Amino acid sequence: MYPYLSDGQRRSPDYQASPVFHKIADTPSGRVADLHKECLIWLLDHELTREAPAIQNDSPQEAVPKASVRPSQRKKADEIKRLEDKAGHRDAIDEDVKRLWQEHKNPKEVAKTIDVERLNPDTLAFYRPFHYHSTRPGALFPAPASDWGIYLWADKLLAYGGRMISRSRNIYSFTPDVIMALVAFEVFNHEFFHHIVECAATSLEVVSAGFGSPKRIFFDYTDKGYWHPSDLGVHPHDPLEEALANAYAYNSLSFISRIKAGYKTTAVKLYQELLKKRWRYDPPGYRHAKSYIDGAYVSGAAQLLAMLTHSADLDPSSAMLISRQVLLNGNSAFYMKPEVPTFIFGTPEAVEKFYELVPAPMETYTQLFWPTNTSKLDDAIQARKAAEAAAKKALAAKASA
Ligand SMILES: [Zn+2]
């Protein structure tokens, strides 16, 4: 363990392990939520948090009265099975397969035919950082972690999804439940990126304490770096975090469509084409998402790291390396997607209606789940793909003969 110490040195009464090891060893290694709670207390003690009104409380005058909030919870396997049985199969009628195949082959062309006004995800949902604490009575969580998490606004999501549904009636793969699932997935993943950034800032705060007094990373960044020009200059895609959050949602969709080609991959590709087409109408920052999709994300994440550390001296390659592998990826968040406290809120009717269209929200925003079984359509797409590949091969063989 200590190869640089001889046995004699280690046994010597002059050698003592630092008390920090004992302190850590004596601390229970609990669940993430327990460790996070301790971390929040530490942040509070070091004045790295800020007081803010409770999001959820008993007053009907507040923006999010507790009565209209429903926490999103993981469904049990038998509940999922019941939803799937109720939704049933989508048949693979020839005419439908033909339309789906067209959408599968030319998502970009098909997306051009859908004319829908876009709203950016932060108008449909928001992320409440855990750096805000509330001591007001009625808060859902005890201080300091009051009310942190992702809030999906049912009324707005339904209105937005509804417009998209009415504008894409001629699109085979866009049924109302599929559109709502895609919107919920996109919006959740956008907000989840804000959680990733807060976790990266917190990691730097915790570690910076080891080099002296802890640095105030999160609020310095949100106050000075997120939007306002700083001595690093103005980022051309200000606020960069929003461009990256939009791109993160897009990239999360790509991850979903890595499965075998079929109905779901068609719907995802079409939705991604719509995003690329409509981002340009988003507010500043948001509208630059296209610069950070796929592999370009890493460059954006490293630039965000320069903002978080408020440094003009980061080594570009090293900053990209740690952004991708350590600080700014989905696995570096303190909570994985299903564990982030997520709430559906709005008027009781809207929350009810949202659950009708998206009956298992958590499974939907993490895995793009919808209950309808499309395996017959998936098989039909696979068969078309195989037939096309065989035809191409035969043609090539004929040409070379
Ligand atoms: Zn955002």
The Cα–Cα gap between 79 and 363 comes to: 12
Q: How far is the CA of 191 from the centre of ligand 1 (A)?
A: 6
The model carries a pTM of 0.92
Residue 123, domain extent:
7-400
Terminal Cα-to-Cα distance of the chain (whole angstroms): 68
The Cα–Cα gap between 299 and 305 comes to: 10
Q: How far is the CA of 42 from the centre of ligand 1 (A)?
A: 27
The Cα–Cα gap between 81 and 75 comes to: 10
Look at residue 68 in the predicted model and tell me its pLDDT.
78
2 inside domain: no
Q: How far is the CA of 85 from the centre of ligand 1 (A)?
A: 36
Q: How far is the CA of 125 from the centre of ligand 1 (A)?
A: 9
Q: How far is the CA of 190 from the centre of ligand 1 (A)?
A: 6
Domains of the chain: total: 1
Q: How far is the CA of 241 from the centre of ligand 1 (A)?
A: 7
Q: How far is the CA of 119 from the centre of ligand 1 (A)?
A: 12
Alpha carbon of residue 169 to chain centroid:
28
Q: Residues within 5 Å of ion ligand 1 by Cβ?
A: 122, 242, 245
Look at residue 117 in the predicted model and tell me its pLDDT.
86
Q: How far is the CA of 52 from the centre of ligand 1 (A)?
A: 19
Q: How far is the CA of 270 from the centre of ligand 1 (A)?
A: 22
346 inside domain: yes
Q: How far is the CA of 239 from the centre of ligand 1 (A)?
A: 9
Instruction: Output the CA–CA distances (angstroms, integers) from residue 114 to 108, 121, 290, in the order listed.
Output: 10, 19, 19
Q: Is 126 helix (H, G, I), strand (E, B) or coil?
A: strand
Q: Is 369 helix (H, G, I), strand (E, B) or coil?
A: coil
244 inside domain: yes
The Cα–Cα gap between 344 and 267 comes to: 24
1 inside domain: no
Q: How far is the CA of 289 from the centre of ligand 1 (A)?
A: 11
pLDDT tens, residue order, the chain (401 aa): 444 555 555 566 555 667 888 888 888 888 998 899 889 989 988 999 998 877 776 655 555 666 678 888 999 999 999 999 999 999 989 999 999 999 999 999 999 999 888 999 999 999 999 999 876 655 544 454 668 999 999 999 999 999 999 999 999 999 999 999 999 999 999 999 999 999 999 999 999 999 999 999 999 999 887 776 677 888 999 999 999 999 999 999 999 988 888 999 999 999 999 999 999 999 999 999 999 999 999 999 999 999 999 988 999 999 999 999 999 999 999 999 999 999 999 999 999 999 999 999 999 999 999 999 999 999 999 999 999 999 999 998 888 87
Look at residue 353 in the predicted model and tell me its pLDDT.
95
Cα four-point dihedral sign 245, 249, 250, 252: positive
Q: How far is the CA of 122 from the centre of ligand 1 (A)?
A: 5
Q: Are 106 and 273 in contact (CB under 8 A)?
A: no
309, with CB counted inside 10 A (0-12, 13-18, 19+), is buried
Look at residue 142 in the predicted model and tell me its pLDDT.
47
215 inside domain: yes
